[in-house]
Amino acid sequence: MSSAPPTKSARQACYTARDAFYNCVREQGGLEWTAQHKVPSKCKAARAAFEKECLPSWVKHFDTQQEVSARRARQLRAAIDSQATSAAGSLSGKAA
């Protein structure tokens, strides 16, 4: 038998805890943090609150979303770096 879905206040508590955790990770320089990485020590309490307030399936879902976001950030950074290198080569007169 399945349990009742989370109430509006329970969902809000989950979202608040999730946002606090991911904001903490970003503040620690971990824009590209994923669940495979170690949780920064300053964020361990926020992670514990996140896991306490959210259903395990939600934590997994949000971690997956974070991994997709991190992958996009890496791809975007690589594309920007590639464009910057090509543009610099073109401006310097060297073949790109």
Show me where the domains of the chain are located: 8-91
How far apart CA 21 and CA 89 sit, in angstroms, is 41
> Which residues of the chain register pLDDT less than 70?
1-2, 30-31, 87-96
End-to-end CA distance of the chain: 63
C-alpha count within 13 angstroms, C-beta hemisphere, residue 60: 3
At 32 the pLDDT is 73
Please identify which residue in the block is written with the tokens 């495979």. 36
At 1 the pLDDT is 47
